[in-house]
Amino acid sequence: MLIAPDMVYICLKFNNLSKVKPYKGSELGKKEQVTHMFDTISKEYDGLNRVISFGIDVKWRKNVVALVKTSQPSRILDIATGTGDLAIALTDTSAHKIVGLDISQGMMDIGKKKLKEKHLEDKIEFVLGDSENLPFEANSFDAITVAFGIRNFENLEQGLSEIKRVLKPNGIFVILETSVPSKAPYKQGYAFYTKNILPLIGKLFSKDKSAYGYLSESASVFPHGENLNNILRKIGFIDVKHFPQTFGVATIYSASK
């Protein structure tokens, strides 16, 4: 049986992605390693994230919010919410309840301080949980978002299947994730930056020397563009689209159920 080149590429990407972990040589699984990594870098994450992305990630999140707004959701789930930046931005929608879920208590502890400062404790709830085993009933949310977290899933298909389960019919699912530019000179510039500059910034300013090397490596092997679209379709999502951001260094994906 012949196998389409795109499917071979996706399979190779899956294999590589499962092997990419923050701490090489550790006997812990990817999920446990990612949890430890984000707990460790939680206090420095927001500041370094602004530096690494030159602050453009704020605009990308605004674009996610604009997309979610079109569905006029009442209940939103923000998976891999981290310190809550996207969850907070989503308060600019019609939603009366936003749930932010993450496996890192350290990241959410930072987020809870933000909620208190902004008086959003009644509108946003943080839940410690696993994206691949969501603690919610089927058809619970009108909209689900994931920003810069989906490549950290230990089992991508399992996580996506869980998202589809808890998303309401006709609900919207939006992903914001790093991607690799395909056109010169952006492709070459991105490769140099992620391979050399990003890990160097991490080593200089982070107490976890492995974290930003992992974030760079995981971004380089994660399936993006039409390859991720095909995975979403395989899981059963419909109306799958993607929108490259800033020369393709990030991409927003939307899908429905």
Question: Is 41 a residue whose pLDDT tops 60?
Answer: yes
**What proportion of the chain, given as a percentage, has pLDDT over 70?**
93
Angle of helix 5-19 versus helix 211-221 axis, rounded to 10: 170
- What is the predicted pLDDT for the residue at 174? 98
Read off the pLDDT of residues 135-164 as tens digits, 9 standing for 90 and up.
Answer: 999 999 999 999 999 999 999 999 999 999
Distance CA 87, CA 101 (A): 10
Question: Is 39 a residue whose pLDDT tops 60?
Answer: yes
Q: Domain residue spans in the chain?
A: 5-256
Read off the pLDDT of residues 185-218 as tens digits, 9 standing for 90 and up.
Answer: 888 888 888 778 877 877 777 777 777 778 778 8
Question: Is 15 a residue whose pLDDT tops 50?
Answer: no
User: From the centroid of its chain, how far is CA 49?
Assistant: 13
For the chain, the average pLDDT equals 88
Read off the pLDDT of residues 108-128 as tens digits, 9 standing for 90 and up.
Answer: 999 999 999 999 999 999 999
Question: Is 179 a residue whose pLDDT tops 50?
Answer: yes
Indicate the fold that domain 5-256 takes in CATH: Rossmann fold (3.40.50)
Distance CA 129, CA 98 (A): 15
Single pTM value for the model: 0.89
- What is the predicted pLDDT for the residue at 191? 81
Omega prior to 181 cis, within 30 of 0? no
